Structure formats: C-alpha cells, structure tokens
Chains A and B, each alone.
Chain A
Amino acid sequence: MKRFWCTFFVFWPIMAVILCWVAPAQNWWFPRGASGTGAAMSPLGERIDDLFYMILIITAVTFVGTQIGLGYVLFTGARRSDAPHGAEDAEKTWFTHGSHNLEVMWSVVPAAVLLFIALYQMEVWAEFRVKDSFPDEVRTGPIAEVTARQFEWRIRYPGLDANGNPLELMPDPQPTDLYTVNELHVTSAEPVMIWLRSEDVQHSFFLPELRVKQDAVPGLVIPVWFEATKSTDYSWLCAELCGWGHYKMKGRFVAEPEEDLREWMQELQNEQMDDGVPDDVGDSQVAD
C-alpha cells in the first residue's frame, strides 16, 4: 500500500504536465477568436504572452524538479520503513538537522531567478501604463471616451469637421460629440487611446484577445491604449464584479482600417445629426 501512495503522488503531477501539454491542441488555451491560433492580437499582447511563456518554463522546470524530489523521498522513505526501527536489517534513518550549504543554495538561486523575473517585466508594464512610455501615436489624444455603467458601455466620439476629419475629444461632452452604446470602433494596426470612466460602480475594460484589462473607477479618468493588429471583431467584456448583470456586460469591439472607420463615423454623424427633414427639402429651402 505504501508504494501505491508513492505512485499516487507521482501520478498526478505527470497528469498535470500532460494536461497542460495537450491543452493548446484541445483549444483549452489562449482564446483563439480572431487569430484562430490563440496568439495575442496586439504587439504588446505578444510581449505579454512571451513573458507568460518565460514564467511558464521557469515554473514548469521547478514544478517537475520539486515533484521528482518529492517522489524520490517518498519511495526511498517507504523502503526505509519496510523494516521496523532497530531491526538488524533496517536501513538507518538519516539523522540530520539540515545543511547550511543547501539552505544558502536554495535561497540564493530562487532569489536571483525571482528578481530577474521581476526586473524583466518592468518595461512592458511601463509601456502599458506609464504615460511617459506610451507610444508617440497616442500622445495626440484619445479617440473616444468609454464610460461603463450597469450593465453597458457608453462610448463618446468627437464629431467630424466639414472635411470628415475627427475633432479633438474634449474632457466634457460637446454638442458635436457622437454616441454609441456597446459598440466601439477603432483603427486597426496602430496604437489608439481611449479615456476610461465609470458612471456608477467599478467595472473593468477587458479585451481578452488583445490582453488588455483596466478597471474603470468612478471619479477617475484612466487613459488606456492598445493596438489591434487585424481588422476584425473582438470580444469585449467586463472583468470586475459590477452587480448582478456583470456577466452580460459585453460590447462589440471592431478594429478596421482608417477609411472604414471614417466612413462609419460619418454615417453615425449623419444619423445623429439627422433632423428628420429630407435632404432635398433642405436644399430647396437654401436655394430659396
């Protein structure tokens, strides 16, 4: 029975490793969504994934190593207890209170590895969140303001000028602003920034395929930037508990080429500025 338990303890880490190994092929890994492969759909997301895999390798090696060590001491410990203590043929218990050298080794090595992991992560974090490290393209200002509320996203765009170019987005709502609910359109293949706010409780702006997440905090305006590499629809949901309808707080997130975005905004503007009077009537009045 002792050997059964040793095997039992060795069996499950093997299962864990196998499960993680087959997970990507079984679609139990990063969301395939827009990419079809599970690869991140933003340059920053790709770097986040690289960091994830780096940690995965380090932890996998540690996991396998410690579980092998555990299995070894279990099997040898089981063998030692075959004969009762004090019996002639009994294998001696190793009477020791520890080893200074081992303690130093297994303190210094993990410390160095952990410190390395921490320092190695700083740059990506700074780029995502520290304003001074934001890409140049987004320093010109946000393209939209996203306001979360129970249980929807409200988006405010600046209006378009006479030439069809977007105006600057002002901190306070303007008469020219354009509004949508649960539908955010952005340009693809270039970094864009939004302002994130909340109108009631905390929410979180989560784009799983882009590896973007940022809480929306009532009272704060938080700049969030991202870059969707491909022109397509992405999943967009709330990641911070915001009430009973938290699970259904989803939106349509569309990345598209600049001209398509302009066209969509123009349509939006036409729709929202429509005063119900047919165009030709207006023209004839002007002519008068």
Chain B
Amino acid sequence: MSIATPTAEASHDGEHHAHVEDKLALLKKIHTFSTDHKVIGVQFLITTMLMLLVGGALALGVRWQLAFPWESMPFFGSLFAQQGGQISPEFYTMLFTMHATVMIFLVIIPILAGAFGNFLIPLMIGADDMAFPLLNALSYWFMWPAIACFGASFFFGGGPAAGWTSYPVLSAVQEAAPGSGMAQTMWLLAVTFVGVSSMMGSVNYMTTIINMRAPGMTLFRMPLTIWAMFITAILQAFALPVLTAAGFMLLFERTLGFTFFVPGGLVINNADPTTGGGQPLLWQHLFWFYSHPAVYIMILPAMGMVSDMLACMSRKPIFGYKPMVYSMAAIAGLGFIVWGHHMFISGMNPALGMTFMVSTMMIALPSAVKVFNWIGTMWGGRLQFNTVLLNAVAFVSMFIVGGLSGIFMAAVPVDIYIHDTYFIVAHFHYVLFGATLFGVFGAIHFWFPKMFGRTMSETVGKWHFFLTFIGFNGTFFPMHLLGVAGMPRRYADPYLHPYLEHLLPMNQFMTICAILMGFAQLLLLGNFLISIFVGKECSDNPWHANGLEWSAPSPPPHGNFPSVPVVYRGPYEYSDPAQPEGLDYWPQTEPPPAPA
C-alpha cells in the first residue's frame, strides 16, 4: 500500500461515513462569526496567505531599489506616479519597515498559531472544539483592527519608517522621520491588536491542550505539532505582556507626554530640544525580551508540523521523540535569556555581552539535536517523494544554514563586524522563510485534504516548490556574501559608498531571483483556491497517517468526531512489525489486538 500519491480509497478505519460531507462546509462560513475552530483556522489561513502577497510585494519594492536604484518601478510605480514612479528614500524606509511588520505580525505568527494551531489542536488531541470557542473567534476578528491600522498607517506621512523594531528616539519623536507622526501611532495600535489576538489564542491553546485531550492521549502520546503549539502558547503568554507594556509606554510617550525612552536635550531635525530623562536602551531590552522568544514562536510550530510530516512521509516513527520534546522545551526556556544578542553593540554593559553570548551559543544545541533527529527520522525510511516531503526536507536543509549562520552572530567579536549587515538579513530569512515558510507550504499540502476533502495538485505543488526553492536560494544565499563584504542593511543606495559599488550586479541577480520567487507564490495560491473546488476527491485518511485528525471525516463536522475517540498509542507508529494487518501505519484510535 504505497502512498506516493494520495489515494481515493476509503480510509483504513473502514467507517465510510454514510452522510456525504459538504466539502465546502468550512469555506461557506468564512465570512461569519463562527466559533468553530476549523472555520477560524481556515479564516486565518486564507487571510494570512493574502497578507503573504502584500508582504511579498513590499519586499519586491525593496529589491527593486537595491537592483535598480532610483529607477522608475514598473507596474507598481503607477501607485506613486507623483514621484515619477521612483522609490524615494523615505518610501524605501517605509517599504522595509512594513515588509517586516506584515510578514511577522500578519503572516508568520498568525499562519502558524492562528491557522494551523486552531485547525489542528482540537482535531489532533481528540477534542470537539477549543476550550473557549468565543474567545477563539475573537482572536481572529481582532486581526482586522490590526490590519486596518497597519493599512491606515500607509496614509500618514507615507507610513511608519523606523524599522519593524521601532527603536526610539527615531520612533518616539515626531520630527525624527516623516513616518514618525500619526503613522507610528497607528503602527503601535496595530501591534497592540495583534498582541491581543495572539494572547487570546495562547490562553485558549494552553487550556485546551491541558484539559481537553481524549481518553488515552497522555502528554507523551501527543503529536509533536501539539507539543510545539503548547510550548509556543506558553512563550506567548509570558513574553507578549512585555511587548504590550513597551508599546503602551511608547504610545504614552508619543501622545501624553510621558518620558520613558527619550533623553532630554536632543535637538532633532531643528525642533525644540527634548525634555525629560528617558533611556533609549530600555526599549531595546523590552522589545527584544518579547521579540526574541517571538523568533521561536515563529519557528517552533513549523518544527512540530515538519516532524509530523517527515514521520508520515518516511513511514517511520520519529527518531528520539522525547529528545524532540525536551529540545523544544529547552529552546523555549533558553529563549528567554538570549535577547541581549540583538544588542551586543547597542552600548549596553559589555559584560552582558559575554553572558548573552554563552546563552546564545547554548540555544544552538537543542536546535542541532532536532536537526539530527529529523535526519534520523528519515534514515532507513521509505520516503514518499510528494510535495509534502519536499517542503519538509527543504525546511531541514534550510534550517541547517540558518542555524549555522546564527553561530557567527552569536559570537560577539564577529558580530561587531556583521551586525546590521546583510549577513543578518540572510540569517533570519533562512530561518523564517527557508525553514518556517517551507514548513508551512508542506503543512498546507498535508492538511488541505482534511479541510476540504480534496487534495491539491501534485504537479503544480512540485513546480511551486521547485521555483520557490531556486528563487529563495538565489535571493538569500548571496546575502551572506554581501554581509561579509560589509553591506549594511536598510540602505536605500549602498552604491554611494565606493567599497560597495561592485556589488550591484549581484544585487540585480538576487532581485531577479526574488521576482521569480514572488511569481511562484501565485502557483501556490492558485493551486490552493482551485483545488478547493476541483481537486481530486480523497478519503478521510489520504496519507495513511496515524494522527487523530485523520480518523475524523473530511472536513470534520461541527464537533469533529462522531464519538469521543480513544487513544491507544503514540502518533508515530509507522511500519511497526507488530501491526496485526501488516499495514505500515497504525492509527492512534485502532484498538490493540486482543491477546490470544
């Protein structure tokens, strides 16, 4: 029974559901205030996929300027025709600020925790819904005020332009930048809204996972996806309040005249000197105390999902299940004491640099353990080379690069040189795009059949993967070299500096790759949307996977399971020789054979 391509046969569980499911049941409710976790998951998924296109378009603006500085931008240039279609330096700072903001707050965090967290948690633990369905619905709908505020911010002075890190003084004083007026206020409000949204999700996930597991679903029988979502929820619960507090402090400083971050006596852009006695480094500490754990919020769920995909597509149990769980816990724990590595040259006490260097080096360890265990999972397996596996392997391969380049910047002396250069940009794109987004692409193909009862096109999926992978590496690998060559980030025109002039052709090559990668995403979106209606119909368990979600109908009805499922084993018992029917999978709900 090979599963190289999903089969249309009835699920192994035999229960061919008499009631014909409406395959569009979830889609039909996406405009409603539904409290069904699956509808909310699909709402999050479609919203974030659209936001991915917005964030991508902003990135292409950045890439255009770096490849063809000050030249009129084709197509998009008509949007700012009064500037002759040219990207002004003010507009350029807005572009990279909003690219990062959209990608982090409106794509990666909500697509992982919001879309897949919502859709998968109750299904994978055998619950009928989340613990707090109303709170869950609110967590989605709170995204919209955030999207509205981010969107509105573009119309005030050209949009916020202090970077996604919004360091004061630049972000705190209106005169400091064209985007530091109302646009920055809108940005802070939007971040507060996404924070509220995340927090409502986080509380819900923790409660659901702790309290609502099906009988037999012990903690160490939970899929790694659930462990990852659980740990992510804990990270959010502890880190987010700090960002929210910092955001409010900055908001009060900007609007009510409080002083937290801006020292007195600064003359900014010929305005009156500032008064008060704030400290700009305070923001950096508060911001990174959230945003470093947030980096793990942006990768852990993908790690969990990739683990599930790799085990299923290798037809093998996870190699070292418990070390995988402990590694994620270690990443989460250490994640709280490494924030200072963003601030090595910020002017903070240099002794802190040493302690943060040691903790940062140590956080590479659980990541390494996970990589070895993923390779171990595939080792000796019967690999099913479908789109899911390709994206999951890309996750591992790209994560290796992103993890190793992290060691360079964890080393403080080396970081003196590469800090704020393109080396950093290369590093976090390898982790956030190369790892997380490939993981997400795999997850979309893997769980799509559960959402819509059909599969996505394998051919289009593979073309999407092929083009994205090539475009990705062509865009981001050379960034390591730009970084070593000393090209700083956030420069509208690096070629103004003679020692960077010769890097223009390389930047042009990267931009062409980025455009290729951007267009490839249309394949994903098209494949997703068209397959909802005309994809090949499939059984409830097309991948012959073990998880509880595959024992529910596709799409699962309200309440998910016909009866409360009982769990007899862990989720990774693939190719177990003890399987009584000689199958290479053994669903968690299948009772063990009666003793002879």
Contacts and interface: CB of A to CB of B under 8 A. Distances in A.
Interface residues of B, number: 119
B411 A200 contact: no
Interface in A1-59: 1-2, 5, 8-9, 12-13, 15-16, 19-20, 23, 27-33, 45, 47-48, 51-52, 55-56, 58-59
Nearest to B315: A93
Interface string A90-107: 011111111100110011
B85 interface: no
Contact of A239 (B396, B408, B488): B488
A110 to B, nearest CB: 5
Nearest to A214: B345
Interface string A199-213: 111101010110111
A124 B353 CA distance: 12
A1 B380 CA distance: 19
Interface string B270-299: 000000001111000000000000000000
Contacts of B380: 73, 76-77, 80, 93-94, 96
A70 interface: yes
B361 A117 contact: yes
Interface stretch (A242-250, A257-265, A278-286): A242-250
Contact of A98 (B92, B320, B404): B320
B256 to A, nearest CB: 21
Nearest to B4: A81
Contacts of B364: 110, 114
Contacts of A250: 496-497
Contacts of A9: 393-394, 397
A130 B350 contact: yes
Interface in A186-223: 199-202, 204, 206, 208-209, 211-220, 222
B385 A246 contact: no
Q: Which of B407, B413, B492 has the most CB of A within 10 A?
A: B413
B381 A93 contact: yes
Contacts, number: 333
A98 B414 CA distance: 36
B314 A115 contact: no
Interface stretch (A61-69, A135-143, A167-175): A61-69
B169 A200 contact: yes
A244 B351 contact: no
A125 B503 CA distance: 30
A213 B365 contact: no
A247 B89 contact: yes
A176 interface: no
B253 interface: no
A2 B499 contact: no
A246 B489 CA distance: 10
A215 B345 contact: yes
Contacts of B315: 85, 93
Contacts of A242: 170
B390 interface: yes
A266 interface: no
Interface string B337-350: 00000000111001
A128 interface: yes
A69 B317 CA distance: 18
B7 to A, nearest CB: 12
Given A94-B381, A97-B319, A241 B414 contact: no
Interface stretch (B123-131, B159-167, B224-232): B159-167
B488 A218 contact: no
A179 B468 CA distance: 53
A91 B319 CA distance: 19
A66 B369 contact: no
A229 interface: no
Given A73-B381, A118-B411, A235-B497, A244 B575 contact: no
B51 interface: no
B280 A130 contact: no
Given A2-B385, A219-B263, A124 B413 contact: yes
A239 B488 CA distance: 6
A247 B357 contact: no
A238 B539 CA distance: 59
Interface residue tally on A, bucketed by range: 35 or more
B32 to A, nearest CB: 41
A233 to B, nearest CB: 10
B496 A247 contact: yes
A111 interface: yes
Contacts of B469: 8, 12
B383 A78 contact: yes
Contact of B477 (A19, A76, A103, A248): A19
Interface stretch (B102-110, B243-251, B435-443, B576-584): B576-584
B47 interface: no
A12 B407 CA distance: 21
Contact of A66 (B162, B345, B400): B400
A122 interface: yes
Contacts of B353: 125, 129
A51 B411 CA distance: 9
Q: Which of A2, A125, A150 has the most CB of B within 10 A?
A: A125
A70 B397 contact: yes
A80 B404 contact: no
A201 B170 contact: yes
A240 interface: yes
Given A56-B408, A218-B263, A243-B93, 7 more contacts: A33-B499, A66-B375, A114-B365, A202-B170, A219-B279, A241-B167, A246-B490
15 contacts: A5-B385, A12-B469, A45-B417, A63-B404, A73-B383, A77-B379, A77-B383, A86-B1, A96-B319, A97-B319, A106-B369, A117-B411, A125-B354, A235-B499, A244-B90
Interface of B: 1-2, 4, 88-90, 92-93, 161-163, 167, 169-170, 173, 176-178, 262-263, 266-269, 278-281, 314-321, 323, 345-347, 350-351, 353-354, 357-358, 361-362, 364-365, 368-369, 371-373, 375-376, 378-385, 390, 393-394, 396-397, 400-401, 404-405, 407-408, 410-414, 416-417, 419-421, 466, 469, 473, 477-478, 480-481, 484-486, 488-494, 496-500, 502-503, 506, 572, 574-577, 582-584
Interface of A: 1-2, 5, 8-9, 12-13, 15-16, 19-20, 23, 27-33, 45, 47-48, 51-52, 55-56, 58-59, 62-63, 66-67, 69-70, 73-74, 76-78, 80-81, 84-86, 91-99, 102-103, 106-107, 110-111, 114-115, 117-119, 121-122, 124-126, 128-130, 150, 199-202, 204, 206, 208-209, 211-220, 222, 235, 237-248, 250
Nearest 5 A/B pairs, CB to CB = A94-B380, A219-B263, A77-B383, A208-B486, A129-B350
